[in-house]
Chain A
Amino acid sequence: MIYVPYVIAIAFSLAGIALAGISTDRHFVVIMLAVELILLASTILLVTFFTYQKSPDPSGIVMLISIWTVAAVEVITVIAFYVYVKARGLDFDVTRLSRMKW
């Protein structure tokens, strides 16, 4: 039996680190990796609440699968964007990305 507040604190701290990374880092790929960390923190929270409750709710599974889908889509998008920026010789600094042109 796990003392649940510890796991919740870890997930919250993970989200806090990711938020700090998003607010201070300017590299596009690193910011997207930080969003992945936030999704990971939400997954940990969801599984914790799902595991330690008296009657498990199936709608939690839908939320979990949705988070996994968004994380996978995000990774695919990051790679596509990385190749696009590399090919066009642009900078990954988000403060210099003023436009996106096909």
Chain B
Amino acid sequence: MLDTLAAVAIGLFILAASIGVFTSRKLVFSVISLTFAFAGSALIFAVMGQLFLALMQLFIFVGGLSTYLIVALAADEKERSLESLPAFFIIAIIVSAALALIAFRYDTAGEQLSTANFVSVIGQAISTYYLLFAMAALLLFSAAIGSIIILRRYVQLIV
């Protein structure tokens, strides 16, 4: 019961942070809201008992990607218009409510489901699907190289 309450509280925190992404006038505040959403997801993983996964989420998303985004967009002074905010809230409420209603069709109350350990399965996954992991690494590597090429060419124009 306590776990469910904690998960719901963290979930509401994630939803509030995700709304903050679209209601902030400055880009850097949108990214900070996204960082809070990432941190909330790490917390929800910890509540589910997946501590290893929570740490991975913290290191990769909060420590890596969000820091990269914040540093890159911190100098952006331009404020964006929020004229579409009423439409955003209307669509968000309708779509979220409809999707959340679908979620409650998966009623697992009373079922005894075992908690799987992430760490014990990840080794099995890497040995079985090693080619897919290599492809993921290649995709990340090529994106990084392409980004460096673009940044080398254009970053001196804006500094």
On whether the two chains bind one another, the answer is yes
List the interface of chain A (C-beta within 8 A of B).
Answer: 1-21, 23-27, 29-30, 33-34, 36-37, 40, 43-44, 47-48, 50-56, 58-62, 65-66, 68-69, 71-73, 75-80, 82-84, 86-88, 92
Given contacts A6-B11, A87-B158, A62 and B132 within 8 Å (CB-CB): yes
Residue total for B at the interface (Cβ-Cβ under 8 A): 85
Given contacts A5-B108, A80-B151, A84-B150, A69 and B69 within 8 Å (CB-CB): no
Expressed in whole angstroms, the Cα–Cα distance for A24 and B81 within the complex equals 12
The residue on A at minimum CB distance from B19 is A17
Main secondary structure on A side of the interface with B: helix
Q: Please determine whether A13 and B21 come into contact, CB atoms closer than 8 angstroms.
A: no
What residues of chain A lie closer than 8 Å to B95, measured between beta carbons?
A: 16-17, 19-20
Say which residue of A6, A16, A55, A84 sits within 8 Å of B7 (CB atoms): A6
What residues of chain A lie closer than 8 Å to B69, measured between beta carbons?
A: 75, 78-79
Q: Please determine whether A12 and B155 come into contact, CB atoms closer than 8 angstroms.
A: no
Main secondary structure on B side of the interface with A: helix
Q: Please determine whether A30 and B30 come into contact, CB atoms closer than 8 angstroms.
A: yes
Q: What is the count of residue pairs linking A and B with beta-carbon distances less than 8 angstroms?
A: 227
Rank and list the top 9 A-B pairs by shortest CB-CB distance, nearest first. Answer: A10-B11, A16-B96, A56-B116, A12-B99, A20-B92, A58-B125, A87-B154, A16-B95, A61-B125
Q: Please determine whether A86 and B158 come into contact, CB atoms closer than 8 angstroms.
A: yes
Q: Please determine whether A58 and B121 come into contact, CB atoms closer than 8 angstroms.
A: yes
Say which residue of B65, B109, B122, B151 sits within 8 Å of A75 (CB atoms): B65
Q: Please determine whether B99 and A6 come into contact, CB atoms closer than 8 angstroms.
A: no
What residues of chain A lie closer than 8 Å to B136, measured between beta carbons?
A: 65-66, 69
Say which residue of A48, A76, A86, A87 sits within 8 Å of B144 (CB atoms): A76
Given contacts A12-B100, A37-B21, A66-B136, A1 and B8 within 8 Å (CB-CB): no
B44 within 8 A of A: yes
What residues of chain B lie closer than 8 Å to A11, measured between beta carbons?
A: 103
Given contacts A68-B60, A78-B69, A10 and B15 within 8 Å (CB-CB): yes
Q: Please determine whether A9 and B103 come into contact, CB atoms closer than 8 angstroms.
A: yes
The residue on B at minimum CB distance from A78 is B69
B34 within 8 A of A: yes
- Subset of 18 A-B contacts with CB under 8 Å: A2-B4, A2-B7, A5-B108, A10-B12, A16-B99, A17-B18, A17-B92, A17-B96, A29-B30, A50-B116, A58-B125, A58-B129, A62-B129, A73-B143, A75-B69, A76-B143, A78-B69, A83-B150
